Structure 1
Amino acid sequence: MSTLHIAAPFVGAVLSEVLHWYRVREKLESAKYRKLLHSRPYWIITTLAVLFGGLSVLILFGARFNDGELLLAGAAFPTLLRKVIAAFVGSPKTVLGTNDRRVVTDYFAVA
């Protein structure tokens, strides 16, 4: 496996996150998005989702997919993960830390 082959799903997952923030760029003045942008727990969750997504795609499809397919699968994985978890997180009672209430719920709701 080449370095590009290994990096492709992780790059795809990062691109997915960049596109997400580009899509909500006009809402960045709202308190909710400003809080998310500066929330350490939010970025930890985002980083873990990118790493988990990229690694999962690499394990599941690394031997069968080419670099472009891995990039696309890596980009799709965080979105799929958000949608699946958002479907089951019905209550805004999920709390991570004391100052950043609803960060976990917000991460999956902003998809």
Structure 2
Amino acid sequence: MSTLEIILVGALGSALQELLHWYGLREHLATPRYKQLIKSVGYWVVTGLMIVGSGLAVWAWFAGDGDLPARQYLIVGAALPLLLKKAVEAVTGEKPAAVARTSSSEGAKLSDYFRGGSGREERLA
């Protein structure tokens, strides 16, 4: 595979992970918290950067390993955002928090991308 193909397959894995995440939240999308998040430009910029960054990280990780099956690049691309979120949580020691417990008009922040939540309804990314 070419460099570009490896990056694209890794990014596709990350994008599929994000899609599955939002599919898991489908019952909660009508709540004010998720309506606000869906409209947040900041959240989607960070999400897009994570997708592209995952593709680049997959390429960097497997550089020089020869021709591997695309499924390996896809799975690692999907796993990287999850591993990064867990690493940030472990380093900061913070427990995940809800993004918008109040009905504020502020957009989501960078830190909101890395917050998970204790319950399914609070998971963001």
Match of 1:29 in 2: 30
Provide the identity percentage.
Answer: 35
Task: Calculate the TM-score normalised by the size of structure 2.
Answer: 0.72
Detail structure 1 runs of 4+ shifted over 2 Å in the superposition: 1-6, 62-66, 89-92, 102-106
Match of 2:78 in 1: 75
Aligned partners of 2:14, 2:43: CA distance in 1, in Å? 16
Structure with the higher fraction of residues in helix conformation? 1
Aligned partners of 1:82, 1:106: CA distance in 2, in Å? 11
For 1:90, the aligned partner's letter is: E
Match of 1:106 in 2: 112
Measured on the aligned residues, the alpha-carbon RMSD in Å equals: 2.2
Structure 2 stretches lacking a partner, 5+ long: 98-104, 116-123
Aligned partners of 2:93, 2:42: CA distance in 1, in Å? 18
Q: Sort the Cα spacing of 1:6 and 1:54 in 2 relative to 1 into closer, same or farther, 3 A.
A: closer
Task: Calculate the TM-score normalised by the size of structure 1.
Answer: 0.80
8 A Cα contact 1:12 1:75, kept in partner: yes
Aligned partners of 1:11, 1:58: CA distance in 2, in Å? 13
Q: Between Structure 1 and Structure 2, whose CA radius of gyration is higher?
A: 2
Superposition deviation, residue 62 in structure 1: 4.2
Structure 1 stretches lacking a partner, 5+ long: 93-97
Length, aligned pairs only: 105
